[in-house]
Structure formats: structure tokens, C-alpha cells
Amino acid sequence: MRWAFRYLWILLSIGVVGGGCAKGTREVVLKHTNGQIKSRGKFKDGLATGPFVFWYPSGVKESEGLYEGGEQTGRWVYFHPSGSKAREGEFADGLQEGVWIDWHPNGQKALSEELRAGKREGLVLAWDAEGNLLFRETYADDQLEGSATYYHAEGGTKAEGSYRSGLPHGPWSYFHENGEREAEGNFDQGDRVGPWVFWHPNGEKRQEGNYADGLPDGVWARWYDSGVRQDRVTYRQGRRDGPFIAWGPTGIKLEEGSIVDEAVYAETSEENSTAAADPTSSDEGRPEMGRSRDRFSGQIKTWLGGGRSMVSNFQGGKLHGPRRLLDADGKVVSEDYFRDGELVRGAGR
């Protein structure tokens, strides 16, 4: 704890730690390099005792409280450099005990936490500088345990669920700022598991699929906010692997084919590829559904509008074999041929 280290530094500075500790009681005053008083307090038989006060170099009070036998005890108060109260609570045997309160520099309450022997134990509440409640968490032995609720800055629940041994566990629910459901699903010791469903702010379903050990697995479907289906992709142990279909906003099929072993998180950073990285965000660990052609395999059919379509063949993510343009009746309009991504016949060759 920073105050304990500060106390040790004081003792070292005045030579009352180690051999030759002074006997009796004496007052010690330390100063900043600019001449302002840094601390004032008494030592008895080499141990801090009684009231102590600390100041910033500006002369503004930094903290004040009691020592007994060299340990902080009773009520301590800490201040911001501006002079407003920053933190207040009780010490017992040198450790924080009971309810501690933090304040923002503007005087708004910032944090309320229950502590036992210096560890969080019980309810923790946090507010922003405008006084809006940000979260309500429960701790046991300094770890998140039990129910937790997180709030939007404008009010209303953002996420709610439970923790076990510091990890999200059991059902979690998420909500948009307008109060509509955003996502629902389950965690198992920090991993998303089983079916998860996501919704657009207007209440229309956005996406749904299954997780296994924190990774998308099986068929995932997505919809436009109009309710029209957007695409359907197959996953295997967190990687796109299998058939897919994509539709346009009007419901017209755009593309159909197969993907082989494409990383789910190709469009996201490695840090947010873990489902439990931030359980308060419904998007954390949600699979990106866009497709890159470098993992296409087999025959891919793309609809071009006006009834026309393009049938292409891929191997190892590269065009390989015939590519045909078809009219509305399915008749071949033109054809070219590729080998390992290179055009070898057609288009003027």
C-alpha cells in the first residue's frame, strides 16, 4: 500500500529504522525541496504514533490520520491536489477496514467499497463525475463473486450477470441505451458457452449461434436491422469452416459456397479474441461475419443482379478451374479458365 511505503520512507529518511532507534517521543517535520512542509508527526521509541499530516509541495494538505505502534489506525482522509476530499475510511492494524469512499475532484462520489483486512469484501459501487452510477459489483476475498450490474452513462442497465472466482459465470444479459435487449447467453468460468443471441437497437434479431469453450462453433446466422436475413456461416472450433450463404438487404441471394479453415478473428485484434476479456461488452468475443476469399474452396456462386450469376471455382483460396457468367435462364454467357489464381484462357486470351 502506498501509504505504508511512504511511512517506511519517512523512517529511513530520519534514521529511526534499524539499529540505534531513538528512545522516547519526538516530533519530526519533513520538508519538500521547495521548503514547504511535507509531513509532521511524532515518533515514540522509533515508531510513528499519534496524529500525522502530509502536504503536497503546493502546501495543500494531502492526507491526515493516526498511527499507533507504527501502523495506520482509525480514520484517515486523503485529498486531491485541489484540496477537495479524495478518499476516506478506517484502518485497523495497518490495513483498510470497513466502508471506504472515494470522491472525484469536483466533489461527486466516485467509489464506495467494503474492505476487510485490506481486501474487497462485499459491495462495490462506482459513479462518474456527473453522479451517474456506473456499476454495482460484489466481492469475496478481493475477487469478483456473485451478482454484478453495469450501467450506461445516461442511465439504464448495460449488462448484468454473475461472477465466480473472479470470472463471469452463468447467464448474462446486455441492453442497448434505449433499453432494448442487446445480447443474451451463458458463461462458464470466463468462456462463452452454448447458444447466444444478439439484437439490433430496434429489437430485430442481429445474430445468433453457439459457443463451445469460448469459441464460435456450428452454424451462425445474421440479419439486417430490417429483419431480412444477411448471411449464414459455419464455424468449427472458432474458425470459419464449411458452407456459407449471403443475402442482400432486399433478400436476394448474393453468394453461396464454402470456406475452409478461416480464422474467426481475422478482422479483430488478438487481445479481443478472448470471450472473457470484457464481460461487460456484448461485442467482446462476438464473431465477425465478413468473408475473405483467401479461404474459399470449391464452387462459389455469386448473384450479380438482373438474374445473372457467376459460378467460380476455388482451390486453396485461389481461382482454379472454369469461371462462368450465366444469364437469368442459367445459360452460359461467357467462360474463362484459371490456374492457381492466374487467368490462362478467356477474356481475350
Q: What tens digit of pLDDT does each residue of 81-97 get? A: 999 999 999 999 999 99
Q: What is the pLDDT of residue 13?
A: 47
Instruction: Judge whether 254 lies within some domain.
Output: no
The model's pLDDT over 304-319, given as tens digits with 9 standing for 90+, comes to: 666 777 777 777 777 7
Question: Which long-range contacts link 201-207 to residues 24+ away (Cβ below 8 Å)?
Answer: 201/176, 201/177, 201/225, 207/286, 207/289
Q: How far apart are CA 93 and CA 64, in angstroms?
A: 17
Distances (CA, A) of 235 to 46, 270, 287, 316, 339: 68, 18, 10, 18, 28
- Domain of 316 in residue numbering reads as 292-348
The HSE-up count of residue 261 (CA atoms within 13 Å, CB side) is 3
Neighbours of 67 (CB within 10 A): 23
Distances (CA, A) of 164 to 138, 167, 278: 10, 5, 15
Instruction: Judge whether 304 lies within some domain.
Output: yes
Query: pLDDT at residue 274 above 90?
Result: no
Neighbours of 118 (CB within 10 A): 16
Share of the chain above pLDDT 70, in %: 80
**Reported confidence tier of residue 11, pLDDT bands at 50, 70, 90:** very low
Q: How far apart are CA 118 and CA 72, in angstroms?
A: 12
The model's pLDDT over 109-123, given as tens digits with 9 standing for 90+, comes to: 999 999 999 999 999
Q: Which amino acid is at 299?
A: Q
Q: How far apart are CA 268 and CA 18, in angstroms?
A: 55
**Reported confidence tier of residue 1, pLDDT bands at 50, 70, 90:** very low
Query: pLDDT at residue 292 above 70?
Result: no
Write down the pTM of the prediction.
0.76
Q: What is the pLDDT of residue 284?
A: 64
Q: What is the pLDDT of residue 18?
A: 33
Instruction: Report the b/e string of 218-244 with b at 16+ CB within 10 A.
Output: eebbbbbeeeeebbbbbbbebbbbbeb
Instruction: Judge whether 306 lies within some domain.
Output: yes
Query: pLDDT at residue 271 above 80?
Result: no
Q: What is the pLDDT of residue 287?
A: 62
Instruction: Judge whether 323 lies within some domain.
Output: yes
Query: pLDDT at residue 12 above 80?
Result: no
Range of lowest pLDDT (65-74, 202-211, 225-234, 247-256): 247-256
Q: What is the pLDDT of residue 281?
A: 75
Q: How many domains does the chain have?
A: 1
Distances (CA, A) of 256 to 286, 306, 339: 23, 17, 21
Please give the biggest Cα pair distance in the chain.
105
Instruction: Judge whether 9 lies within some domain.
Output: no
Instruction: Judge whether 177 lies within some domain.
Output: no
Instruction: Judge whether 49 lies within some domain.
Output: no
Q: Considering only residues 96 and 21, tell me which one the structure prediction assigns the higher pLDDT.
A: 96
Q: What is the DSSP letter of 192?
A: E
Residue with cell 470484457: 278
Instruction: Judge whether 271 lies within some domain.
Output: no
Question: Which cell is 329 given?
Answer: 435462364
The model's pLDDT over 319-333, given as tens digits with 9 standing for 90+, comes to: 777 887 778 788 887
Q: Considering only residues 298 and 202, tell me which one the structure prediction assigns the higher pLDDT.
A: 202
Query: pLDDT at residue 265 above 70?
Result: no
Q: How far apart are CA 224 and CA 103, in angstroms?
A: 44
Comparing CA positions, the residue from 235, 178, 186, 176 lying closest to residue 206 is: 176
Given a contact cutoff of 8 angstroms between Cβ atoms, the answer to whether 288 and 265 are in contact is yes
Mean pLDDT throughout 24-32?
94
Given a contact cutoff of 8 angstroms between Cβ atoms, the answer to whether 234 and 266 are in contact is no
Q: How far apart are CA 219 and CA 259, in angstroms?
A: 13
Q: How far apart are CA 126 and CA 233, in angstroms?
A: 40
Q: What is the pLDDT of residue 14?
A: 45
Given a contact cutoff of 8 angstroms between Cβ atoms, the answer to whether 15 and 36 are in contact is no
Question: Which cell is 345 given?
Answer: 484462357
The model's pLDDT over 129-139, given as tens digits with 9 standing for 90+, comes to: 999 999 999 99
Alpha helices in the chain (DSSP H): 2-14
